[in-house]
Amino acid sequence: MAPISLILSLAIGPEVIVIGAFVLVALIWVIATYNGLVRTRNHTDESWSGVDTELKRRYDLIPNLVNTVQGYAKHERETFERVIAARNRAEANHGSPEEQARDENALVGGLKQLFAVAEGYPDLKASRSFLALQEELITTENRIQRARRFYNANVRDLANRIETFPSNVIAGMFGFEKREFFEIEDSSQRENPSIDFTD
């Protein structure tokens, strides 16, 4: 009795085996490409949550910072209100990265004004609580920049996979979409707020 594989090969024929092997390889490629796109999309989502976490950390610091400065510069009420309003808008924004970047730009501008006010108060610049908040904000700003770069790198990788052939075929079939970069539009605001008050 001949082995089953020999019977199948005689019944099926070599052409069918070649076609079957080709279909199998193509199916494996589709699955691998799809899974790669899903992984890249998930990395992008995860990295955005890292940006969001660091932004929330900054939002939590700002009221303490404003209160500390306000204790020394009571007549700068308009600046304080502007910073708190910008902070509240940025914190409440859960839109696209582009929309959030606009609110973050306004917040960074407000922080720069707040630090400009603080510059005129030597006692404030020497205050331990102000110095501690200043250091915490510097650390937070650095962490935001790292998280932003990591997110943008994942957005770039996802866009590359969606736009390049042949993975763009699978991306189109399954509805994968590019994500927005989280960018600061004004180049003067690409730097961390100037908050060095030590003499």
Set out the domains of the chain in order of their start, with CATH numbers. Answer: 12-189 (1.20.1440.20)
| Bond preceding residue 14 cis, omega within 30 of 0 | no
Cβ–Cβ < 8 Å for 101, 183: yes
pLDDT at 89 over 90: yes
pLDDT at 20 over 80: yes
Query: What's the chain's length in residues?
Result: 199
Q: How confident is the model at residue 86 (pLDDT cuts 50, 70, 90)?
A: very high
Q: What is the pLDDT of residue 6?
A: 56
What is the phi-psi region of residue 13: left when phi exceeds 0, alpha when psi lies from -120 to 50, beta otherwise?
A: left
pLDDT at 3 over 70: no
Query: Rounded to an integer, what distance in angstroms lies between the CA atom of residue 66 and that of residue 74?
Result: 11
Query: Rounded to an integer, what distance in angstroms lies between the CA atom of residue 168 and that of residue 164?
Result: 5
Mean pLDDT of 186-196: 45
Nearest C-alpha neighbor of 46 from the set 120, 155, 124, 137: 155
pLDDT at 9 over 70: no
Q: What confidence tens digit (pLDDT) does each residue in 157-185 have?
A: 999 999 999 999 999 999 999 999 998 65
